[in-house]
Chains A and B, each alone.
Chain A
Amino acid sequence: MDTPIRVLVAKPGLDGLDRGAKVVAAALRDAGMEVIYGGLHQTPEAIAEMAIQEDVDAVGLSVLSGAHMHLFPRVVNLLTKAGAGHMLVTGGGIISAEDMTELTKLGVGRLFGPGATLKELVEYIRAEVGRRRAAARSV
């Protein structure tokens, strides 16, 4: 049996609305994942540090403030610079489809906006982490 998927769920920036982050954390736990809850008002630097120390498979960020074009790439860059570029950076919030496409080009995984279901998110993380783990093993 594969080891449980470890996910860091956190909120970068100044936005404090954590309904989504908490609901996602509970859902991931109920789906058998180990969720490290990183909390609110975190800087991208703190998030990268947490992800690295916890050696997570995925980082889930929730941003509802509109600052996502700044915050998501920052986390991706910090992780890549530290040698943790294999970690999936995903998340959601108030992000337009256009911005999601832009962010994908910058190394962010699939993002989940308003109306996305927990089921979709869980399945995506399982599949994508599984894919990345398999790729790592085959090297």
Chain B
Amino acid sequence: MTVAAGADLLGRVRAGEALACARLMSLAERGDSRFVAEYARFHQELGRARRYGITGPPGAGKSTLVEGLALHWRALQRSVGVVAVDPTSPFSGGALLGDRVRMSRLALDPGVFIRSMATRGVFGGLARASDDVVDVLDIYGSDTILIETVGVGQSEVDIARSADLTVVVLHPGGGDTIQAMKAGLMEVADIYLVNKADMPGLDRLVEQLTDILDLRDMPMAERPPILTAVASTGEGVPALADELDRMHAARQASGALARRRADNLEKRVRRLVEGRLRHDIWEALGLAETLSQRIAQIGPHSAWSLADEILDSYRRRRPPETHA
């Protein structure tokens, strides 16, 4: 089935047709030029949806938490979109996307749309097209969008670039919690959620988190709150939902949200530009192939001078930029 044939795809997405929404997302994932064309038509309407990132180490119960949050907002008649991102295997290029199976209570609710994505070679928690897919959910009409990623270092920073607010989910007994904390989690959490709060080790973990926050020497008012929950029973989930909405509203009022979104936009443009450059250099101009051949010809050589050669080739085969 082609997208160009027949009815206006974007119109159908705006009208809330799930299949159209899914197809537009696929175009985004493929980096299809048709998506870019549609994007030009709809980007002005973006920004209605609240975007919350949910990240943390594996085993923290993020999917169960996302399900709980979605159920909570659904009961309030708010539509919910979920983007669940899992890593692509570096060996096979394939991925096992097992998040939506943990959200089975959301099945067959027309007010919920769940999309699973694989990172597709991008290192870190997000996929290249995650932002685009989230934008499609915004246009589709989702009131609140949850973006779930596995947090193992770099990804926490990634997800903060796409969300209005980021929740970092930890759990007692997760030995890698400390590592995750060291890896950059501290900078991006707007809220800490300690899930599986019925397990032993809760107090110690909260203490550790508090100590780390102390070291950052922030005024108390600006500190990310530490909440607890038992997502499998629903305990603590409404409180998290309320806190997210409260923070969102407050930042909207104060202008902080607009600043965050502007910042995110800047980072996103840089990513897009860098992505395109990478593609242009290595693929479009075939310089990856060229490099391999060079190395095969000359053997061990200075990495620096080879890099210069590549950049030189790139510059020479591009026409000079003209300024408007």
Contact = CB atoms under 8 A, between A and B. Distances in A.
Q: Is A–B contact present in the complex under a CB 8 A cutoff?
A: yes
Interface of A: 3-4, 25-26, 28-39, 42-43, 45-46, 49-50, 52-55, 82-84, 86, 136-137, 139
A2 to B, nearest CB: 9
A136 B3 CA distance: 9
Interface of B: 1-2, 5, 18-19, 21-23, 25-26, 29-30, 88-89, 91-98, 100-101, 104, 107-108, 113-116, 118, 120
A26 B94 CA distance: 9
| A38, A50, A53: most-surrounded residue (chain B CB, <10 A) | A53
List 6 tightest A-B contacts by C-beta distance, closest first: A55-B22, A29-B94, A39-B101, A32-B93, A32-B94, A55-B26
A3 B2 CA distance: 16
Contact of A53 (B92, B113, B118): B113
Nearest to B82: A53
A25 B115 CA distance: 18
B113 A46 contact: no
Contacts of B30: 3
Contact of A33 (B2, B18, B94, B104): B94
Contact of A39 (B96, B104, B108): B104
A37 B98 contact: yes
A139 B93 CA distance: 29
Contacts of B120: 4
A44 to B, nearest CB: 11
Given A31-B94, A34-B95, A46 B107 contact: yes
Contacts of B5: 139
Contacts of A4: 88, 93-95, 118, 120
Contacts of B26: 55
Contacts of B23: 55
Given A53-B115, A54-B116, A55-B22, A36 B97 contact: yes
Contact of B89 (A29, A52, A53, A137): A29
A33 to B, nearest CB: 5
Contact of A84 (B19, B92, B100, B114): B19
